């Protein structure tokens, strides 16, 4: 499977832009791994964290440390968040999200990996991850998650709009579409 590369631009409010800029400086990282843990029934594992508004779900993800190889970050983050191994994982794509506000720009890179299908229950190994719950979601639910993220309350809207793009990209990577307007059906995993 050939990895898919895409760049998008997302306009956010000033408050979120400045907070995210500070977050990137503090963590010295403007990139992450997104872990698509495949589940039985053409589903993928999603999670909520204790600080997410309204227990909103997202695909599993974690920061890549400054200078860290994405594959090493995958191994570390997947273990911390689920206790799973990255053995057999496949690099699926890269999404560069350019966060914009008033002419200012901040690129953020997400590296997507497929994790082989498992029905094992995730067991978080790092309590600092603040994982609160897991759910297996299908294509329709991924689209609902993206929509919910885009419609969070005002104080979370910038974060939600930004995070929804990775959910949409994951849906495109995981599922094929036979209809226009990004309505996914005939779900199947890539080969």
Q: Which domains does the chain have, with CATH numbers?
A: 4-174 (3.90.79.10)
Report whether pLDDT(186) > 80: no
- Comparison of pLDDT for 79 and 180, the residue scoring more: 79
pLDDT digits (tens, 9 = 90+) for 77-115: 999 999 999 999 999 999 999 999 999 999 999 999 999
Torsion angle (degrees, nearest 10) of CA 61, 82, 144, 146: -10
What is the CB neighbour count within 10 angstroms for residue 70? 18
Distance of CA 118 to the CA centre of its chain: 19
The predicted structure's pLDDT at residue 18 = 96
d(CA 176, CA 141): 15
Phi–psi pair at 156, nearest 5 degrees: -110, 0
Distance of CA 158 to the CA centre of its chain: 15
User: What is the band of 27 on the pLDDT scale with cuts at 50, 70, 90?
Assistant: confident
d(CA 93, CA 132): 27
Dmax (CA) of the chain = 46
d(CA 167, CA 44): 11
- Comparison of pLDDT for 66 and 183, the residue scoring more: 66
Looking at 83-183, list the stretches that DSSP marks H as alpha helix, in order from N- to C-terminal side.
139-150, 154-174
Q: What percent of the chain has pLDDT over 70?
A: 91
> Which range (39-48, 135-144, 175-184) has the least confidence?
175-184
The predicted structure's pLDDT at residue 2 = 83
């Amino acid at each position: 499977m050939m990895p898919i590369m895409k760049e998008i631009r997302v306009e956010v409010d000033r408050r979120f832009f400045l907070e995210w800029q500070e977050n990137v400086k503090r963590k010295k990282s403007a990139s992450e791994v997104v872990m698509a843990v495949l589940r039985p029934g053409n589903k993928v594992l999603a999670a909520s964290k204790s600080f997410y508004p309204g227990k909103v779900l997202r695909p599993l993800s974690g920061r890549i440390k400054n200078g860290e190889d994405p594959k090493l970050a995958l191994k570390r983050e997947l273990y911390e968040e689920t206790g799973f191994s990255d053995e057999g994982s496949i690099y699926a794509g890269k999404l560069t999200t350019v966060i914009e506000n008033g002419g200012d720009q901040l690129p953020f890179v997400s590296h997507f990996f497929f994790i082989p299908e498992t029905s094992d229950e995730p067991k978080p190994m790092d309590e600092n991850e603040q994982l609160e719950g897991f759910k297996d979601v299908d294509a329709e639910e991924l689209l609902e998650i993206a929509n919910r993220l885009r419609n969070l309350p005002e104080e979370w809207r910038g974060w939600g709009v930004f995070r929804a793009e990775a959910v949409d990209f994951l849906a495109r990577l995981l599922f094929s579409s036979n209809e226009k307007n990004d309505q996914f059906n005939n779900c199947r995993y890539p080969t």
